[in-house]
Amino acid sequence: MTEPFAPLTWETFVVRVWREAGSGAWRGEIVHVPDRAAIHFASFAQAEEFVRRYVPPAEIDPPLDVSIANAP
């Protein structure tokens, strides 16, 4: 019997988001846990770009369309 779905592939990320005390700007850091690669970001577009290094674009649906700058 053939399996109806391809085997799962897991990627694990830790995302931290905070607000800068002086400017009130939102910032973040994302870490790819398996290889400990990390970046700091000022928009979710930057975080998404980092994730795409590990996850092909076709597997992220729908694309992220959020900006930290617009967060409450």
Which position has the token pair 């996850």? 55
The end-to-end CA distance of the chain, in Å, is 51
Highest mean pLDDT range out of 2-11, 38-47, 60-69?
38-47
Own/partner contacts of 15-24, CB < 8 Å, gap of 24 or more, are 15/47, 17/68, 17/71
Give the predicted TM-score (pTM) of the model: 0.66
Please report the pLDDT score of residue 72 as a whole number: 54
pLDDT band at 7 (very low <50, low <70, confident <90, very high): confident
